Structure 1
Amino acid sequence: MIKKLYILVVVFILSFAVLAGCSTSSKEVLVKDKVNVVTSFYPLYDFARKIGGDHVNVINLVPTGIEPHHWTPKSLDIRLASDSELFFYQGAGFEGWVDDFLKSLRSDAKVKPFKVSEGVNLIPISGDHDHEDHGKDEANHHEGEWDPHLWLSPINAKKMAENIKNALIQVDAVHQADYEANYDQLAAQFDELHAEFTNEITKLPRKEIVVSHQAFGYLCHEYGLEQLAIMGVSAEAEPSAQDMKQINAFIREHQVKYIFFEDLVSDKLAKTLARDANVQTLVLHTLEGLTDEQMKNGEDYFSLMRKNLGNLLQALQ
């Protein structure tokens, strides 16, 4: 009996440890005398750290190695955000949990939520065109109708970073000069990255790519590419037999040599299709999150976007 009780206690302790590790907020802490910032996913975390510098403590809610589409906040995450100064989320339908999350913040919470996609021209999920009249169009459409992967255009990412800078200044005007200087440096990096994509992709003989899910609408729109997705925007919608037939036809028609998959999503379907179509696979990072290895190696938005460019150049020669 004692032995059985001991085993149960050990199992309980191990289970609790595993569950505790499933939430970023269980490992992260607020820092006194700094602006505490909570972000909803990786690009916002990366930009906030670079703009905030030594004046901010940035905590990303989604742990490394976790695909954000499959993540939902826990009570500890709500508590952490409630006690922070800023909560950055993208909006445009990316964080399906955010409305309930904001309603769950403590009534006395000092945190200021900011939707970082404000002012960015959104593309409908169909990907036909972008809307110049952003505010009016978004007001007349449900957020689920928009492609939420805004940050994969360096131009959009630059605007999102500007919104982050402005929010930091609102809550910490004392360090405005530092935030402005850090943002200017970051903006120059976005401009340089945009120029690299423009210069390199315009030289390519082909412009058609096959991707695992419909995440690259803004990247394609910016640089004249065309994507055909195996799965939908959510990375969860399985393709039908008719879809697979059309994808194979597209591959043959456009002489596609590679199918792109992501590092946080299973590559099984992409590799199966590639094998059937007698083509190869390459990674195209969505930057929705980083793996543990990428974090350890010091990868960031710019290094992974340049890897994307290199893989696009390889695939489209």
Structure 2
Amino acid sequence: MYVFKRVSFRIAFAAVSLAALIVFAAGCGSTGQGKLVEGKLNVVTSFYPLYFLAEQIGGKDANVINMIPAGVEPHDWTPKSRDLDTVSKAQLFLYNGAGLEGWVNDFLQGLPRDSKLVTVEVSKDIPKISGNPEDEDDHPDEGHVDPHTWVSPKSMMVMAKLVLANFIAADPEHKASYETGYNALEQKLSALDKEYSDKLSGVKKKDIVTSHQAFGYLARDYGLKQVAIMGLSPDAEPKAQDLLNITKFVKENDIKYIFFEELVSDEIARTLAREARIQTLVLNPLEGLTPKEASNGDDYFSLMEKNLQNLVLALQ
């Protein structure tokens, strides 16, 4: 992770009101919400990447319900009483952990005493990346741990293995079916990992400037350096000096593109791009599908392929 040193220089947009710029649009989710089904392994997931893993592995023998609906930012979402009722009657609850779901501890304490729910922190086997403690005043991210593990195919392979183990433990009768689903998923993730490794090892540049500090695991696993405008949460507000430092970095390192997300406001990224006279590209943190992506049939793999195409373009 690139750590900025405070510098002093003047720039035209330094006086721009950050409060006016930090206006975020609807965020991430999935179309996977549903009801419990008798006779199947009922699995509830906290957000889209885990829903995707569970669906791929569970196949016809699992009923997977995603808690966060389309159009909702998972960093800010909090569950309702009906969510607690659904989860309490399921067999498995998959959540990311690493601080992504700030509500999870209180939520689980509200479960009925007779609930047989098994809870799984799916990111627990992945070595975590710390945030920037030096930026605590600027980006007060809880625990300074980066929760965005799923953005790296390498991490998704680790997470998929843990999901498989818990599916088998909860429903050993369908072990063979779950293993079949997992093997197909693992082959695709392995191929995606190889494609990322092969293509990103050949690019000339290694620095990516992003609107949201969501790509640390991808950067770590594939030899890149992430320079983020905002913190681990997409609504962490940067100070004017942060923007000045990033603009200076962009100019001094011949950065050609600034990456932004479709699910949050791109105003700051575009302001920086205009000031530096460069372009913007999408880099999707895959926290959920937009309604358009869902209707187009996009999923984790198609969006990660688009991410790779944009990374290669930006880093030539």
Q: Taking structure 1 as the reference length, what is the TM-score of the superposition?
A: 0.85
Q: Deviations over 1:62-96 (max 9, x none)?
A: 11122111211111111110111110001111111
Q: Which residue of 2 aligns with 1:197?
A: 196
How far does the alpha carbon of each residue in 1:11-48 deviate from its partner, in whole angstroms, 9 at most, with x for none? Answer: xxxxxxxxxxxx99996211111111100011000000
Alpha-carbon distance in 2 for matches of 1:294, 1:26: 13
Alignment match, 2:19: none
Determine the C-alpha separation between the residues in 2 that align with 1:189 and 1:160: 14
Q: Which residue of 1 aligns with 2:23?
A: none
How many residues align structurally? 281
1:53-72 alignment to 2 at 5 Å?
Answer: 53-72=59-78
* Distance across 2 between alignment mates of 1:214 and 1:275: 21
2:25 alignment counterpart: none
Which residue in 2 is equivalent to 1:11? Answer: none
**1:40 alignment partner, one of 22, 25, 46:** 46
- Equivalent residue letter for 2:80: K
Q: Is 1:182 the counterpart of 2:188 in the alignment?
A: no
Kindly state the Cα deviation for residue 110 of structure 1 after the two structures are TM-superposed.
Answer: 2.2
Q: 1:24 to 1:178 in 2, by over 3 A?
A: closer
CA–CA distance in 2 between the matches of 1:25 and 1:52?
Answer: 17
Of 93, 100, 104, 1:94 maps to 100
Contact 2:130 2:144 in 1 (8 A): yes
Deviates most, 252-261 or 48-57: 252-261
What stretches of structure 2 of length at least 5 have no aligned partner?
A: 1-28, 134-140
- Percent identical: 51
Distance 1:112 1:264 in 2: 31
Contact 1:46 1:301 in 2 (8 A): yes
SS in 1 for 2:146: coil
Shift of 1:259: 0.8
Deviations 1:182-209 (A, max 9, x none): 1111111111111101110111111111
Change (3 A) 1:27 1:219: closer
Larger relative contact order (Cα-Cα within 8 Å, sequence gap ≥ 6): 2
TM-score where L is the length of structure 2: 0.85
**CA separation in 1, counterparts of 2:50 and 2:191?**
19
* Cα RMSD (Å): 1.9
| One-letter identity of the residue aligned with 2:236 | A
Provide the secondary structure at the position in 2 that maps to 1:236: coil
Counterpart AA for 2:195: E
- 1:76 alignment partner in structure 2: 82
Q: Call closer, same or farther: CA 1:56–1:269 in 2, change over 3 Å.
A: same
SS at match of 2:129: coil
Q: Which residue of 1 aligns with 2:282?
A: 283
Q: Does 1:264 align with 2:263?
A: yes
Q: Which residue of 1 aligns with 2:110?
A: 104
Q: Map Cα deviations across residues 122-167 of structure 1 (whole Å, 9 max, x no partner).
A: 111149xxxxxxxxxxxxxx97232111111111101101111111
How far apart are the structure 2 equivalents of 1:48 and 1:25? Answer: 14
What is residue 158 of structure 1 aligned with on the other side? 157
Contact 2:197–2:222, Cα closer than 8 Å, also in 1: yes
* Distance in 1, Cα, partners of 2:111 & 2:165: 23
What 5-or-longer segments of structure 1 have no aligned partner? 1-22, 128-141
Code of the residue aligned with 1:210 in structure 2: it is V
